[in-house]
Chains A and B, each alone.
Chain A
Amino acid sequence: MADVAEKTTNGNGDGGREEIKVEGEVKEGGGGGMGVGGGGGKTRLVDLRSDTLTCPSAGMKKAMVEAILGDDVLGEDPTVNALQERMAQLLGKESGVFVPSGTMANLIAVLIHCDRRGCEVFVGDNCHIFLWEQGGVAQFGGVHPKSLKTLPDGTFSLTELRQAVRRDNVHFPRPALVCVENTHNMEGGKVLPLSWLDELAVTCRELGLALHMDGARLLNASVCLGVSPERIVRHFDSVSVCLSKGLGAPVGSVLVSSAQFIERAKRLRKGLGGGMRQSGVLAAAGLYSLQHVYPRLSQDHQHVQIIAKAVNECVGGAVTCDPGGAHTNILMLTCDPACVTPDQFCLRMETVEEGEEEAVGERVSCRMISINGTTVRLVTHNDISSDDVDALVKKLVYVINSLSGSQR
């Protein structure tokens, strides 16, 4: 039986930092138990599994209720149109299309760039399009993905790219597109260097390849670099941006590109089943987040730095991280398998054990995700307050120190 945790959420960028107390849902199943051991008392749930967990704030809901709506399949929803224009403007592109998810945004982009039989797309071997979209580009688009080794900074070698592009031989598919991911999720939310992006653009132009950016967390990159999103994507033919991640909207992404590309994208969106009707109700949340949540993204980055610093100050090395490598709102924790595996660590962090409440000062349950044999990922977001971070840090320090003391 799971504990009902009381979760405090932050002001969600509403200027006045209103504290909204939200009852945590009673989780059915899910990863690991919660609040095991100890008697009674409320448990603070700090859910860092992803920034997709954010729920709309009161201000966002108000914007959603007040939005003017229409049938977007007929192009008559003014709120959706406004969001599309706003995002296109922000990224310096001609047009945009609102879609239900980042997966669909990327799928549409690849399928339009690779619109003829036998195309090839070049992607990093650790990127979301390659690993986490169910092979959709092949399944639906008949597109062959050629993976390039992802470097620790999220980039790949341009030399390797040049070598991989092969033409004019009946054995080869037709190279059509290069995709990059910024920020790079699996590399720990790393921001791709601007200079590399510019060089990549030059290379692609030379090689006659189109360029797409999976910018799910693009605005985090923009905040980290202190440059406009337009500058980052200046040389890209198309960009996808998620509203449902750090920006805190409940649903949706926007794909931006030239007007002609977006017309085709709208068509494909319909064919895939992404044509929604009065979706202005969701687009309104997106517009709200661009105005109110985007300006506070740097706070999520600061939270990561606080957590990273605290982790590194622990002794024993059971769990370590690289604060310098944490550019944005994602932190990768490396577990020493001799002390603890990532799954064990996640379970331990979620559980409240005997004596812990006294040491930490309260009952804290933290959820994270183990992503491979040695790594645990945590993601800060709009619904994580400074108090949550303080409580989390206390728990992390307590747990890591206790783990370091007990070698397996």
Chain B
Amino acid sequence: MASIDSLQFHSLCNVQSSIGRRAKLRIPSNLVVFRRRPVNLNWVQVETKRRFVCRAIGDSSTPDEDIQNTQNDDDVVVVVASTESNTPSDSENSVSRFRSMITTLPPVVFVMKKCSGNGIWIGICIAATVLVAAVRTYVVRKSRDNQPAGSVADLVRRGQLRSGDRRGISKSLNYEDPFNNPFVKLDKGNSTVEMCGKVYRLAPVTLTEKEQTIHQKRRSRAYQWKRPTTFLKEGDSIPPDVDPDTIRWIPANHPFATTVSDIDQDLAQTNVYQKQGVPFRIRAEHEAMQKKLEALQNEEKLNNLSIDSQNAREFQRPYKLGTKLEGENIQKNSQDNVTGNSSSEETHKT
């Protein structure tokens, strides 16, 4: 049990002025003893409120009694001034000093026992952290498996879509140059490539030229084919000068079979090679229309030439015109009569 029983303080200070009145004794001593009462067994407390009582210790017999008298007071600090140098007391002081040093050191066991409760909490924290990390990994893997491929979240996870693009807060990518692709990353150590969130390994191609030649020979033996030059509908007869191997029979509803070639082959070729000017058919139609217009104009001219304006009357047909006019006059007269009768009746009424 640690406790401080006494504290010895060696000082050359002169306390004559403050203490001298009471004690009437000068204390030039080189030894001042502070004897304190243990207030707390565990802690050393220095209380400045204690009273310092200086007693003169002249005889060797009296100081113990005086000290004993003051021991009853807990708050009294006894300053004991001793005379000079008695060598047996020096050795005793050193021993007691050494003893006090040892007793003031707290034992390790005591410290460990004090901290034993904290170890449990540290272990609990570590275990909780590991558990949280494991649960988090499991949840991430589960969500990755559950996410449908091709969904927006999957695209974002794979790095093919940026989440900021949908919210309109991302910066535009400068990807006009197809040669520098920031989404392709090479691993310098291994032969792996990371693209769009997936890791790939490069596997060498195993096909050799000899194998290719073997396959070509195999195909040449398996597939004997001549390019067909003649397309005939099913049911048509084979022309005499055509090689049967070059004939391709096509069904009746095939686009080739349902088309009537009303255009000459040379003309078609010419049309394809035309670089400028009006296309053939447009030109042909235009020319046809031009001819038609000219023909119409010619016909009008002819009509205009044969009919003279001065002699227009001679070419009139009065009979027909007259019969028409007479017919019209008769109709008008009949209408007038009807209207005239009606008007006369109205006038009579009014």
Answer yes or no: do A and B interact: no
Chain B residues close to A by CB (< 8 Å): none
User: CB within 8 Å of B: which residues of A?
Assistant: none
